[in-house]
Structure 1
Amino acid sequence: MAQTPQQRKANEKYAKHEAAKRGKGQISIKQKQHSKSPVSTGWLVILAFVVCGGLIFELLRIVPELWSAVGSMFGRLTA
């Protein structure tokens, strides 16, 4: 059976009272540790450029060729 909020509060009060009788300090609350990434932001940017940069440069090279091919195909259809 689950505790009601009133029961939980009473249990915490009792536990604090008993801990004080034994001479123990208050229960410590664990802090969440903020973990840092092992890779810095600069290295992530460089990695993204290496991975995606080649694709971008290849598209910049191919797009004019595609436009000229589409234009010539359209020219042949209209002529």
Structure 2
Amino acid sequence: MAQTPQQRRANQKFAKDNEHRMGKSEDQLKKKEKRDLKSPISPIWLFLLAFVLIGGLFFEVLSRVFF
């Protein structure tokens, strides 16, 4: 039975991943996995959250000082 293009791509990806693991211990692989951690929230959302919180605090202080 012939492979479909999707199966071929999946097999190539699997082979490439396993090729990088050859000759390395489990500790080395775990260290690499730990370095690849990503933040669960994007920087844009962090900026917007900070803008809303800091902006809200700023306007609250202004309203208490001048009114």
Q: So what's the TM-score if we normalise by structure 2?
A: 0.45
Q: So what's the TM-score if we normalise by structure 1?
A: 0.40
Q: RCO (CA 8 Å, sep 6+): is it higher in 1 or 2? A: 2
Please identify the structure whose Cα radius of gyration is greater: 1
